[in-house]
A and B are shown apart, each in its own frame.
Chain A
């Protein structure tokens, strides 16, 4: 406990994201109810929950695509309505529905588009920008594919490119919305390894939303379980200990959560 406090003291005074009493409703349906969540620098947080649990809404609120109706969101210590440094947040969306795979764009062009906001209107790419793009592409191990059209790549490779696109503006926080939907199982593993490396080696804060509880791998440092309300927020270890008893409450009856064994590398079974 003392150790934890010390680590916290060393960090900057405010958490990267601070959510207090956040509620949101579409028409008559409550999607989020009184959510309180703090995300410290350097964490790799997985937000898990079933479909319709408000995960995507939470994400949209954090990204500023929706405005909070009740409660408060503070980003980098500022109220979200005053927060103007969107380039500090990198965003990786679901691969499946966000782009047209027949689109004629090279990996380099796609990654360059991550600089759009940071560069600002009416600016053109300079040499330093190109170098940044090259660096991001190699950070995700895609340098051999820089001149290939994005549509020619596999789902896993495409998601790496989208990570590179998010990294190119040098964000402090990377937000991922179900990044492994439509990615084959083998690539998912190395994809999480890449995320883990970015978190550990580069100290990047990661917030990943997923409905797939089996995806909460050993790379994640904290887990938050959401189903309208926040049911659990804590370290991965605490999560492993608690989920047998508690998670059935979130997901409803008749649901079994199988343990996810790290020691022999087997994947846990997904919630059906």
Chain B
């Protein structure tokens, strides 16, 4: 494993990208989960897939696009999708959750059309669906790192406002916080992180990295800072453990990462149960 890491650039890329995503996805995920927006990550990942399929299709047909990383188009689609979700949430005020299936199915629909137009792709698309260690390129890595730095900086700077908006939106508005602008920044960050995480865990599993570590964390955390800390620790453990296992046992990395996150969740739930029952 260690020699593999020293030897192969793709492994280094995958590990570094995974480590960064392991921090930033659960970090943002805490805000996503407490605002009850968990399913948005799912919807956006499918929109990202449509973007990637579109980019691959363009690359197949025109020379200009063949050199461009499909991740960029995926991000553009994801951000556009996040804005559509916001729009739909105001259109369907009383059915806010309706925005999610609408965007999710549009994403899949578009993706499938692009794929069929291109007469199918090779394994490349498969790696986007389920994640791949070998597919992470240097530009992927740099994109992930830059997005993560930006997201961590924004969360740091807007921590108070994001916390208040998540905890009590009505109060935030009543005290004159620029709720709309901050919510907009937040949703764009979610879209970008989802697109960035996709290389490692894949479209179908990307939302799990934002929600599972958080689900485990809020069972045992005292306070919001602790919830963030545990989420990031759990997320990092899942990503690193998953990558090591998948490399050694030749498993799909996305699936392995998610299953470790599920294991952590089960352990925390049981642990909490044991503690509360012994306390009574």
Contacts and interface: CB of A to CB of B under 8 A. Distances in A.
B250 to A, nearest CB: 38
B174 A93 contact: yes
Given A99-B168, A113-B163, A116-B164, A104 B174 contact: no
A65 interface: yes
Interface residues of A, number: 33
Interface in B29-85: 34, 36
Contacts of A115: 160
A103 B222 contact: no
Q: Is the interface of B mostly helix, strand, loop or mixed?
A: helix
Given A104-B223, A109-B224, A149-B223, A116 B161 contact: yes
Contacts of B173: 65
Contact of B34 (A103, A119, A165): A103
A121 B185 CA distance: 14
Contact of A122 (B157, B222, B224): B157
Given A91-B175, A113-B163, A106 B224 contact: yes
A98 B175 contact: no
Give the size range of B's interface with the partner: 20 to 34
A147 B222 contact: yes
A87 B218 CA distance: 31
A100 B177 contact: no
B175 A87 contact: yes
**Which of B36, B158, B223 has its CB near the most chain A CB atoms (within 10 A)?**
B223
Residue with the greatest number of chain A CB neighbours at <10 A, chosen from B34, B157, B170, B227: B170
B161 A91 contact: no
A162 to B, nearest CB: 8
A110 B226 CA distance: 14
B153 to A, nearest CB: 11
A131 B241 CA distance: 42
Contacts of B226: 104
Contacts of A98: 168, 170-171
Most chain A CB within a 10 A radius of its CB, from B164, B171, B173? B171
A117 interface: yes
A121 B175 CA distance: 13
Interface of A: 63-65, 86-87, 91, 93, 98-100, 102-106, 108-110, 112-117, 119, 121-123, 125, 147-149, 165
14 contacts: A91-B174, A100-B34, A104-B34, A104-B217, A104-B218, A104-B222, A104-B227, A112-B160, A113-B171, A115-B160, A117-B175, A121-B157, A121-B158, A149-B223
